[in-house]
Amino acid sequence: MAKKRSGSQPAKQSSGMKGYIAGAGQVVEQLITDTLEKNFMPYAMSVILSRAIPEIDGFKPSHRKLLFTMYKMGLLDSGRTKSANIVGQTMKLNPHGEAAIYDTMVRLSRGHEALLHPFVDSKGNFGKFYSRDMAYAASRYTEARLDPICRELFRDIDRDTVDFVDNYDNTMKEPTLLPATFPTVLVNANTGIAVGMASSICPFNLSEICETTISLMRDPEHRIVDTLLAPDFPGGGQIVYDRGQMESIYNTGRGSFRVRSRYSYDKSANCVDITQIPPTTTIEAIVEKVVELIRQGKLKEVADIRDETGLDGLKITIDLKRGTDADKLMQKLFRMTPLEDSFSCNFNVLVAGTPKVMGVRELLEEWIAFRVECIRRRTHYDLTRKKEKLHLLQGLQRILLDIDKAIAIVRETEEESEVVPNLMIGFGIDQVQAEYVAEIRLRHLNREYILKRTEETNQLEEEIRQLQGILDSRSKVNSIIISELQRVSKEYGAPRKSMLLYADDLQEQQEEEEIPQYPVHLFFTKEGYFKKITPLSLRMSGEQKLKEGDQILQQEEGSNTMDLLFFTNRCQVYKAKASDFPDTKASVMGEYIPARLGMEEGESVLYMAAVQEYTGYVLFFFENGKAAKVELSAYATKTNRKKLVSAYSDKSPAVSISLLPEDTEFLLTNSQGRILLLHTGAIAPKSTRSTQGVQVMTLRKNGRLVQAVAYQEGMLKKPERYRKNIPATGALPAAEETQGEQLTL
C-alpha cells in the first residue's frame, strides 16, 4: 500500500468563493495494484491494440485510417490534393493532431523512400528515410494521392469483405481491416514499440512473397527458404546471408542479420562513393562516426568525407590518401562504423486482437486464412444479390404470361395501397416481386423489355451455381487467391534491391586488422592483475607495483600479437589479445582481468596461457587424482569469441593448469604426503575440452591431490624412487629428501 502523509487541510470556503471542492488538498491512501489496474493496464492495452502493433493486413490503425480517408476522398484514380486537406479529413477518424497524421503520411509516401511499395504518390519535399536532418516540408506545401497499388488494398471493400465499425464519435464507419489481395504485412517494413512488447518486421520482395504464398497453398510442407531468399530493403544494401540464420528467423520470427553498405571506387579521383546504406542508420550517423575515428587517429587512410546526397539520390564520398587500398579500408569501416549494421527481427502481429510472435510460415498461414474469409464473404455477398435479382426476374416472368391482365389489375384497382396485393393474388407472386412489377415504368410495359429482362434468368442461374460452388469448395477459393497473387506479382513486382553476400565466402575475404608486432613481457598476479611491459620500459623501471598481499604468479616473454587464454575456477576460458591491452610500466598496478573481461561474480583466474600458435597441449591435474591432456587446438576459434564454456572438466576441482609445448615430467603430491613423478607422455592427448582425463595417482579414502608442478633437475635426490607406472599411489619421501630444501616448491 502506498502511504503518503500531508499536513494540508481541506480547502475551506472563503467569503469570496462560491464553493470549494470537497477533500481538496488531502492525500488518499490507495493500493498500488489498484492504480496499476485502473490507470496503467488500460493505457498499455490501448497502445498494444490500437497504436504500435500491426494487424494481419499489415497496417496499424493510424495507417489504415489515413489510407481509407484518402480512398473515400476519391484520391485513388484522380489528381493530387494538398496534404493539409488529407490531414484535415483524416481527423474524422484519427483525432490525434495534424502532426501525428502527417508523420504517418510521410512514412507511407514515395518521396520518403521508406517502403518497398509506397502507398502514397507524393509531390514535393517529403524528406528522406536515410537522412536525420533532411526535414520534410509542411503539409500546406506538399500534395499527394493514393498510389495505384492501393487498388489491391481496397479491392471489393464495398462487397462486405471486412467488418466496419463506428468511428470515435459515431458519425461514420471505418474498416477494421483492409482486404489486401497480397501479404502486405511482409512486403513493407513495420516497426513499433508498445508497452512491454515491440514489433519489427523487415520487408520482403513482392514477387518472392507472392511466389512463396502460392507454393505454401499448393504444398503445406513447402520450405520457405527455397522461394523467399532474404529480406529486401528499399534502400538496397548488401545482406550478409547465412542460410541457417535466415531459416531460424523464418521459423521463429526472431533473430538478426547484418546489412552492409554498397560502394564503388573511383580510381581517377581516388575516392570511394557509398550509394546504399543499411536501413537502421542515417547519412549523418555514418559521417559523424568516421570523423570521430579520424580525430582519434584510427583512420589515417581517410583524407576527407563529404555528404553529396542530392537529386540523384544518396551519396557519401570518402577521399583516400595516396597508396590506400580501398577494399581494405572499407572492410575496416564495416567493422568500426554503421556502414555495416544489424537488423533485428521480431514478427509480432495482432491476430484476432491478440499479439503473437510468428514465423514466416505461420504468418502467411494466418494471412491465407484471413484472405479465404474475405473471398467467402465477397462470394456470399454476390450470391445474395444475384439470388435477390433472380427472384425479381422470376416474378417478371409471371407477368410476361399476360401483360394485359397486369395492366387491367392496376387500372381497375381503386386504391393505390391495393395494387400490390391485387398483383400478388392475380399472378401468385410474393410482395417483393409485386413491388418490383408495380414500379415498372409505363414505357417498359412492352414485350421486348420484359423478354430482355427474363433472358437474364438463365445467366443468373448459372452464375449462382458457380458462386455456390466457390462457397462449397476450399480448392476453388484457393485458386482465386492464387490467381490474384499471380496478377499482383506480374503487375507490381520488381527486381530485388538488396544484394546477397554469402557469409562463408565473406569470412574468407575478411582480413585481420594489422597489429603491430614487437616483443613484450607479460605479468599475471595472484589477485588477477595483468601487465604488458616492453623490454625497454622494463629495463628502465624499478620495483613492480603490486596490491598489498599480491604476488606475481606468471612472467612470460612474448609478442604483442599473442592470444591470451585466462582459465577460471568456473571451468571457463576467456580469450583476449595482448594487443587489446595498453603498454604499461612496472610502477602501475595493471589491468584487473575479471572486470576487464566481464567475468561472473566470484569468478577468478587460475592460469594465463600466452599463445602464438595453437600447437601443444594444456595439462590439467584434478583433486581426484586424474589428469587430462587437451590439445591446444581445441581452444582455437575461427570467430572472435571472447568466452568458451566447458573449457575443462568440472567433475573435480582443478589443482594445476599448465601450457605444455612438449612432454615433460611433473611432480605430484597428495594430502597424505605421497609423491609421484609422472612423465606426461604416458597421458593420451584428447581433442575434447571437457574430458575427465585418466587416473594418474591413486588416492586413499578422503585423500586428494594437492600439488602438481613441473619437475626440475635437483628437486629430488632419488627421482627413480618416485617414478611409477600409472595409476600409482606414489611413495612417501625418504629421509634424505626432507633434510634439505629440495622439496620446497
Report residue 305 CA to chain centroid gap.
31
User: At a CB cut-off of 8 Å and minimum separation 6, what does 522 contact?
Assistant: 530, 531, 532, 554, 555, 556, 557, 558, 562, 564, 578, 608, 610
Each residue's pLDDT tens digit, 542-562 = 788 898 889 999 999 999 989
Query: What average pLDDT does range 45-68 have in this prediction?
Result: 90
pLDDT of 106 above 80: yes
Q: DSSP per residue over 98-142, as a string?
A: HHHHHHHHHHHBTTTT-SSS-SEEEES----TT-SS-PPPPTTT-
Please report which confidence band the pLDDT of residue 744 belongs to, taking 50, 70 and 90 as the band edges. very low
Based on DSSP, count helices (H) and strands (E) in the chain, helices before strands: 22, 33
- Name residue 730's amino acid: G
pLDDT of 403 above 60: yes
Pairing between β-strand 354-357 and β-strand 552-559 as defined by DSSP bridges: unpaired
Angstrom distance (rounded) from CA 332 to CA 541: 36
Please report which confidence band the pLDDT of residue 541 belongs to, taking 50, 70 and 90 as the band edges. confident
Interior CA angle at 645 toward 644 and 647, to 5°? 85
Angstrom distance (rounded) from CA 406 to CA 415: 16
Angstrom distance (rounded) from CA 177 to CA 377: 14
For the ranges 4-18, 99-113, 180-194, 324-338, which has the lowest average pLDDT? 4-18
SS3 28: coil
User: At a CB cut-off of 8 Å and minimum separation 6, what does 696 contact?
Assistant: 621, 625, 626, 627, 668, 676, 678, 682, 683, 726, 727, 728
Each residue's pLDDT tens digit, 429-445 = 999 999 988 888 877 77
**Residue 216 burial class via C-beta count within 10 angstroms: exposed 0-12, middle 13-18, buried 19 and up:** buried
pLDDT for 45: 84
pLDDT of 283 above 80: yes
Query: What average pLDDT does range 727-741 have in this prediction?
Result: 75
For the ranges 135-149, 280-294, 305-319, 632-646, which has the lowest average pLDDT? 632-646
pLDDT for 702: 86
Top-confidence residue, 448 or 110: 110
Each residue's pLDDT tens digit, 213-251 = 999 999 999 999 999 999 999 999 999 999 999 999 999
pLDDT for 9: 47
pLDDT for 739: 60
Angstrom distance (rounded) from CA 238 to CA 260: 5
Angstrom distance (rounded) from CA 180 to CA 177: 9
Whole-number Cα distances in Å, 168 to 46, 58, 94, 354: 14, 22, 8, 22
Q: What is the mean pLDDT of the chain?
A: 89
pLDDT for 543: 84
Is the full-model pTM beyond 0.75? Answer: no
pLDDT for 742: 47
**Residue 360 burial class via C-beta count within 10 angstroms: exposed 0-12, middle 13-18, buried 19 and up:** buried
% of the chain at pLDDT higher than 90: 63
Report residue 152 CA to chain centroid gap.
28
pLDDT of 13 above 50: no
Please report which confidence band the pLDDT of residue 8 belongs to, taking 50, 70 and 90 as the band edges. very low
Angstrom distance (rounded) from CA 53 to CA 194: 7
Please report which confidence band the pLDDT of residue 745 belongs to, taking 50, 70 and 90 as the band edges. very low
For the ranges 81-95, 112-126, 535-549, 667-681, which has the lowest average pLDDT? 535-549
> Is 141 known to be catalytic?
yes
The CB-based long-range contact list for 579-584 (8 Å cut-off, 24+ gap) reads 579/515, 579/516, 581/530, 581/532, 582/532, 583/520, 583/532, 583/533, 583/534, 583/537, 584/531, 584/532, 584/533, 584/537
User: At a CB cut-off of 8 Å and minimum separation 6, what does 135 contact?
Assistant: 127
Angstrom distance (rounded) from CA 438 to CA 447: 16
Whole-number Cα distances in Å, 271 to 25, 131, 293, 314, 338: 69, 22, 18, 16, 19
pLDDT of 741 above 60: no
Please report which confidence band the pLDDT of residue 1 belongs to, taking 50, 70 and 90 as the band edges. very low
For residue 355, the number of C-alpha atoms closer than 13 Å in the C-beta half-sphere is 24
Q: Is residue 424 a contact partner of residue 373, using CB atoms and an 8 Å limit?
A: no
pLDDT of 346 above 90: yes
SS (H, E, C) 370-413: HHHHHHHHHHHHHHHHHHHHHHHHHHHHHHHCCHHHHHHHHHHC
Angstrom distance (rounded) from CA 426 to CA 701: 116
Query: Among candidates 714, 629, 712, 728, which has minimal Cα distance to 670?
Result: 728
Top-confidence residue, 657 or 9: 657
pLDDT of 512 above 60: no
User: At a CB cut-off of 8 Å and minimum separation 6, what does 403 contact?
Assistant: 445, 447, 450
Query: Going from the N-terminus, what domains does the chain have, and what CATH number goes with each?
Result: 59-179 (3.90.199.10), 262-338 (3.30.1360.40), 366-492 (1.10.268.10), 515-595 (no CATH), 613-745 (2.120.10.90)
User: At a CB cut-off of 8 Å and minimum separation 6, what does 482 contact?
Assistant: 214, 217, 218
- Please give the grid coordinates belonging to residue 562: 599473442
Sheet holding 340-346, edge to edge: 190-193, 198-201, 340-346, 254-260, 238-241, 499-502
Query: What average pLDDT does range 97-120 have in this prediction?
Result: 95
Angstrom distance (rounded) from CA 477 to CA 469: 10
Angstrom distance (rounded) from CA 663 to CA 679: 7
pLDDT of 43 above 50: yes
Interior CA angle at 74 toward 69 and 76, to 5°? 95
Angstrom distance (rounded) from CA 176 to CA 709: 76
pLDDT for 493: 94
Sheet holding 271-276, edge to edge: 262-266, 271-276, 316-320, 302-307
Which residues does residue 618 pair with via DSSP β-bridges, in sequence order?
630, 659
pLDDT for 238: 95
Query: What average pLDDT does range 265-272 have in this prediction?
Result: 93
User: At a CB cut-off of 8 Å and minimum separation 6, what does 176 contact?
Assistant: 162, 163, 164, 165
SS (H, E, C) 443-471: HHCCHHHHHHHHHHHHHHHHHHHHHHHHH
Catalytic member of 141, 168, 502, 518: 141
pLDDT of 11 above 70: no
- Please give the grid coordinates belonging to residue 653: 576441482
**What phi and psi, each to the nearest 5 degrees, are found at residue 710?**
-65, 130
Query: What average pLDDT does range 347-354 have in this prediction?
Result: 92
Angstrom distance (rounded) from CA 77 to CA 146: 8
Please report which confidence band the pLDDT of residue 706 belongs to, taking 50, 70 and 90 as the band edges. very high
Most confident of 203-217, 540-554, 572-586, 710-724: 203-217
pLDDT for 12: 45
Report residue 709 CA to chain centroid gap.
51
Interior CA angle at 200 toward 198 and 206, to 5°? 150
Angstrom distance (rounded) from CA 257 to CA 506: 14
Whole-number Cα distances in Å, 495 to 124, 152, 188, 431: 26, 20, 15, 59
Angstrom distance (rounded) from CA 94 to CA 434: 46
SS3 365: helix
Q: Is residue 709 a contact partner of residue 679, using CB atoms and an 8 Å limit?
A: no
Q: DSSP per residue over 649-704, as a string?
A: --SS-EEEEEEESS--EEEEEETT--EEEEEGGGSPEES-TT---EE-B---TT--
Which residues does residue 316 pair with via DSSP β-bridges, in sequence order?
274, 307
